[in-house]
Structure 1
Amino acid sequence: MTELKWLRARVKRSGRMAALASAALLAGALAAPLSAQAAPGPKVSTDKGAVRGFVEDGVAKFLGIPYAQPPVGELRWAPPKAAKPWKKALEATSHGPQCLQVTTLGPFAGPQNTNEDCLYLNVYAPLASLGHGKLPVIVWIHGGGNVDGATDGYDGSKMASDGRTVVVTLAYRLNLMGFFAHPAIKAEGELYGNYGILDQLAVLKWVKKNIEAFGGDKNNVTLGGQSAGSADTMAAITSPLFAGLFHRGILQSGVGSTNPLATAETNAKNMAVAAGCGSGVDAETAKCLRKLSAQQIFNLAGTQSANSAYITGLIEDGQIIQRRFVDTLASGDFNKVPVLSGATIDEGSFGLGISQYFRPGQTPATEADYNARIAVFGGPIYPEGSEAKIRRRYPLSAYESPFLALTAINSDNTLCTQRNANRILADQVPVYMYQFADRTAPTYFPKMPGYLSLAYHTADIQYLFIGWHGGDQGIPHDLNKAQRKLSDELVTAWTNFAWSGNPNGHGNSPWPRYKAKPNLPGIQEQNIPFSTVISDAQYEAEHKCDLWDKILPYKPTTTAAK
């Protein structure tokens, strides 16, 4: 559906609602006092037109606000263009369409779809602050490997009401639509490749123009996200294009990796050949690519269980993302903002759950899977002898199952990667580091033989966005009393950070600033029945970072050092 059709439908719906409301008003006047009738939702003016939302429990919600024109036709694989204005108030009462996605990461995302018209955002704000508040703003980027995910389940009400913040969630182009670098398109001379990141940049510019009308402070914006959303936040921290548009960063389960432009261009050229557009790099090739149907691109992006070989991810295009994140951080040439950064202690169980979800019979990981995973570290990017060292430190005999051994391996290398970035940052900006450790967290995965979700990657989302449970196949669960208490603690910390750049609000307790000194308490471990603080040395021992620091290629290059 194009933006024009989408807007007409919503305006038409607005007219029908007005007519129904008029009829209801007449009937109600005969049967009930005027005070008993429902009031219309709050209306806010934006630079493109008015939007009318609705109120739930004191939170004003505005859903499905277009922030850009539909990226279709000539606007496919182009920087987002500002949305066209509308005249009548837009009924902002439902989410916009999800962006085209194929791979679902098990029940994390979905449903699969071919929507290109998907550049919409949502705003959650305390009703009393509309139009005259100066509340901090949290702009949240959903995860999903930059290939899937949506805003539908990310209800920002709790952070808006309990933390007195204005929360903005956004949809952005994904997979081949959002991260695609064909030389024929590069020749057009515009920013290119990381279109999903440019969508996020457009949202921050929208916030700067419009958020005061919703009660937000354009000069106090926290940008954050989980998983791919965290990696994309790191892209913003390291990109000069984002300078001055946000003032704090939240890196929740991921610091991101990037791909060389040459790799991205090779993948894109191979995709063009597969699509029947040939191997050229001229204007006709670009025209052919833009004439492909959304269904054709969907078919080339992969399957529900796996990405295709044409998917690249974040691209070192030289302008939006200039080089590897770790090298930019080490150079000191980045947007210096306070950072809240951490991960879950069992990050690795999520990926294993996805594999098991799609495996025939949903059978658990085996010794062969364990051996295959360790064999990866015999590849050319790792130091010689890495396989043997990992096998010694994670012997299969030390674990009750191959699944638990693999969870430990995959979790620790992720947690040590996050710590490495935090250590580089801590010398230059305030950093507050954590690890989420609630192994009782509800899971949206089905029951599967031998599978234990533990404190899995994505487990903490539901503590901030109440009711979140993945995609359309995810299983919803309520938080219990102890989990609700932990949720309150996390929401308080995250929103305190949005207010002041300090999760405590002020002072250095109960969550001390991370200093990367071995024996200094500086990492909050979030758990039930209560959270604690551990030192960097304890974290290193728990996750074997002495091993991973020597194996993983996350150290900055010599030329990147300040």
Structure 2
Amino acid sequence: MAKSLCVLALGAAVAQAQLWGQTIETSYGPVEGFQYFNESTLKEYFPNTSHSNVAAFLGIPFAADTGFQNRWKAPQPRQPWKETLNATEFGYACPSKYRTKISEDCLNLNIWTNAQNADAKLPVMVWSQGSDATSDDSSWYGGGMALKDVIVITFNRRDDAFGYLAHPELNREGFMTTGHETSGNYGILDQLEVLKWVQSNIAKFGGDPDRVTLAGQSFGSSQVYHAVNSPLFTGYFHGAIAESGIRYPYDTLLAGIATSYTNMSAALEHGTNYTAFHNVSTIHELRSLSMEDLLIGSQDSVDGEWIWWVTALSTGYPLIFKPVLDDYVLPMKYIESLIHGPANDVPIITGNNKDESGASPMTDYTVAEYEYYCSLKYGNLSSRYFNLYPDFNSSHIKSKVIADQAWNAAARDTSLIGSWAYATEWYKSAISPIFTYYWTHAPPGQNQGAYHESEIMYALRSLYANADLLPFTEWDFEIQEKMSSYWANFAKTLNPNYGGSFTGKGSLPHWSPNNASGTQIVMELGNHFGNVPIAKPAQVNLIMDYFHQQIPY
């Protein structure tokens, strides 16, 4: 853990009101947090901040242990505690082969608050991380954002088979409790339980339950998007930020990335196969197995049809245990929610990074591979595609370097056009504004460019927590100030332009929302801050024509 940030409380206390050192009574029991920043950290990373009220409360349980008989159920109430919980350490992460500190007793959350008292009514941002990640990750530590008077909450949720196993028996259980044959969305219900906890408890930490922004990245952005489209979430949040998130439903890449879902029939097939793989025939027997046994096969991937997608399109996400269209938690396909309107018509920020979703500075295709894969993808549109994204120079000399550049340009344009197309369609059935962005800054000290996740620590103002991992410069901190101010403003006012969060040099460039007329621009964030075209008009037409030859997701 970078810089052992959870013990930065050892600095001298500031002589003014704050929430650390106080016992706060939550719906399950009393908790006590700690002073998060010390003076040296403030001086080094936040030189314009002379003092901090930020208190952190880590590892607060928000539901019961999910093990054994509580497996594959909505979060269950936790047994209340009477002794004060010293909330000074992150809780266990949920089961994953990628984590070490894991347990099925993992439904816990963390709070960073700058409130001086319980009457502060600060806005709240609830953050959902990517698949198989833990809330204890320095990229989304909330202290820096809290200094902008936005309370940050991170949490752990169930993923893979632990969070998304569907099964005929579970459908019958779901019908008994909800009146719907539902199973497979327990990880989404974990997020809903966090929002319910926020409604009941956040005022005691100085938060305003009527100003809750739900935010996340990658698989966490799909969690945000599912909340937008689910009636179960109505009234529990008021704005949404989906980083590397919402894509046009006609985009073929959608099926292989973290924002995807599966239909119930496929989910039931995977669930029964998983059960048989563990040499049992019932959910009761599956609930009797150990966590270690259940981890085997919990992150299985589809093969065969996915091979060329993974290699050629670099999706890297062919998981079979993922959210399920169950007509209850997830009632509609993405295309249907665009046509009929979202369950929760709230303001949205969404966008993509320069070097993700198939684009990368490490692209390494031969000219022959480039031509083969793109011909396979674009079919009858191939001649138009190669005219707009050629692998040759002005003298018609073919080059691997040019082919790699063309591949990346097409992948980036597809992401930009997909976000723009979704935003344009959004206004046909929704009235809340939607803001789209394009992140272009590559953090220093690495060769992956503006990679997947690279924007998070700038948006959440957590460079301080990662400064021993990457050699940040003054420019990085300037970018962070602008980027995090947009996010903080949005949490405060549901508009990234207003809220008074920016304290840097000059002024915060204006970010216009997308519009129903389909103006072909996006807000670049990172190396430049301002509107840029999504692509050349002919490229937009090509990719939209390609999209509309597909079956919508």
Contact 1:247/1:338 (<8 A) preserved: yes
Shift of 1:264: 1.2
Shift of 1:385: 2.2
Residue 326 in 1 paired to residue 314 in 2? no
Q: How far does the alpha carbon of each residue in 1:332-391 deviate from its partner, in whole angstroms, 9 at most, with x for none?
A: 2421111112121222367897xx9xxxxxxx555576467436627xxxxx52556545
Aligned CA distance change for structure 1 residues 205 and 297 (closer, same or farther; 3 Å): same
Shift of 1:493: 0.8
C-alpha distance in structure 2 between counterparts of 1:395 and 1:202, whole Å: 50
Range that drifts further, 301-310 or 229-238: 301-310
Range that drifts further, 63-72 or 51-60: 51-60
Residue 9 of structure 2 aligns with which residue?
none
Shift of 1:555: 8.1
Matches within 5 A, 1:297-312: 297-302=294-299, 311-312=320-321
Contact 1:172/1:199 (<8 A) preserved: yes
Residue 176 of structure 1 aligns with which residue?
161
Contact 2:23/2:30 (<8 A) preserved: yes
Shift of 1:489: 0.7
Shift of 1:418: 2.2
Question: Which of 221, 225, 228 does residue 234 from structure 1 map onto?
Answer: 225
Contact 2:92/2:102 (<8 A) preserved: no
Aligned CA distance change for structure 1 residues 287 and 426 (closer, same or farther; 3 Å): same
- SS of the residue corresponding to residue 57 of structure 2 reads strand
Shift of 1:192: 2.1
C-alpha distance in structure 2 between counterparts of 1:94 and 1:402, whole Å: 49
Q: How far does the alpha carbon of each residue in 1:41-64 deviate from its partner, in whole angstroms, 9 at most, with x for none?
A: 343221111111111232100011
Shift of 1:462: 1.5
Residue 48 of structure 1 aligns with which residue?
28
Residue 415 in 1 paired to residue 395 in 2? no
Amino acid at match of 2:28: K
Residue 452 of structure 2 aligns with which residue?
457
Contact 1:416/1:543 (<8 A) preserved: no
Question: Which of 420, 439, 442 does residue 444 from structure 2 map onto?
Answer: 442
C-alpha distance in structure 2 between counterparts of 1:402 and 1:295, whole Å: 45
- SS of the residue corresponding to residue 442 of structure 1 reads coil
Q: How far does the alpha carbon of each residue in 1:377-408 deviate from its partner, in whole angstroms, 9 at most, with x for none?
A: 27xxxxx5255654554344466266544433
Residue 140 in 1 paired to residue 120 in 2? no
Residue 61 of structure 1 aligns with which residue?
56
Contact 2:158/2:187 (<8 A) preserved: yes
Residue 267 of structure 1 aligns with which residue?
270
Contact 1:315/1:321 (<8 A) preserved: yes
Residue 498 of structure 1 aligns with which residue?
491
Residue 396 of structure 2 aligns with which residue?
none
Number of equivalenced pairs = 476
C-alpha distance in structure 2 between counterparts of 1:299 and 1:366, whole Å: 37
Contact 2:461/2:481 (<8 A) preserved: no
Aligned CA distance change for structure 1 residues 480 and 219 (closer, same or farther; 3 Å): same
Shift of 1:247: 0.5
C-alpha distance in structure 1 between counterparts of 2:245 and 2:183, whole Å: 24
Structure 1: gaps of 5 or more residues? 1-34, 103-109, 279-284, 357-363, 379-383, 446-451
Contact 2:511/2:531 (<8 A) preserved: yes
Q: How far does the alpha carbon of each residue in 1:215-269 deviate from its partner, in whole angstroms, 9 at most, with x for none?
A: 0000111111111111111100000000010011112111233221111111112
Matches within 5 A, 1:8-19: none
Residue 24 of structure 1 aligns with which residue?
none
Residue 255 of structure 2 aligns with which residue?
none
Amino acid at match of 2:524: E
Amino acid at match of 1:175: D
C-alpha distance in structure 2 between counterparts of 1:386 and 1:469, whole Å: 48
Matches within 5 A, 1:57-96: 57=37, 58=52, 59-96=54-91
Residue 156 in 1 paired to residue 155 in 2? no
Aligned CA distance change for structure 1 residues 132 and 322 (closer, same or farther; 3 Å): same
C-alpha distance in structure 1 between counterparts of 2:88 and 2:367, whole Å: 50
Aligned CA-pair RMSD: 3.4
Aligned CA distance change for structure 1 residues 121 and 369 (closer, same or farther; 3 Å): farther
Contact 1:442/1:459 (<8 A) preserved: no
Q: How far does the alpha carbon of each residue in 1:527-561 deviate from its partner, in whole angstroms, 9 at most, with x for none?
A: 33x41223xxx21428933222222369897xx9x
C-alpha distance in structure 1 between counterparts of 2:64 and 2:127, whole Å: 21
C-alpha distance in structure 2 between counterparts of 1:125 and 1:543, whole Å: 48
Range that drifts further, 54-63 or 298-307: 298-307
C-alpha distance in structure 2 between counterparts of 1:413 and 1:68, whole Å: 40
Residue 214 of structure 1 aligns with which residue?
205
Range that drifts further, 309-318 or 257-266: 309-318
Structure 2: gaps of 5 or more residues? 1-14, 38-51, 247-258, 302-309, 394-399, 501-507
- SS of the residue corresponding to residue 291 of structure 1 reads coil
Amino acid at match of 1:480: T
C-alpha distance in structure 2 between counterparts of 1:214 and 1:401, whole Å: 55
Contact 2:20/2:56 (<8 A) preserved: no
- Percent sequence identity is 29
C-alpha distance in structure 1 between counterparts of 2:109 and 2:91, whole Å: 8
Residue 431 of structure 1 aligns with which residue?
434
Contact 1:301/1:308 (<8 A) preserved: no
Question: Which of 477, 485, 510 does residue 478 from structure 2 map onto?
Answer: 485
Shift of 1:111: 3.3
Aligned CA distance change for structure 1 residues 519 and 316 (closer, same or farther; 3 Å): closer
Residue 12 of structure 2 aligns with which residue?
none
Amino acid at match of 2:110: N
Contact 1:540/1:546 (<8 A) preserved: no
Residue 131 of structure 1 aligns with which residue?
118
Residue 4 of structure 1 aligns with which residue?
none
C-alpha distance in structure 1 between counterparts of 2:162 and 2:538, whole Å: 36
C-alpha distance in structure 2 between counterparts of 1:240 and 1:550, whole Å: 33
Matches within 5 A, 1:378-397: 384-386=379-381, 389-397=384-392
C-alpha distance in structure 1 between counterparts of 2:499 and 2:72, whole Å: 44
- SS of the residue corresponding to residue 187 of structure 1 reads helix
Shift of 1:454: 2.0
Amino acid at match of 2:444: P
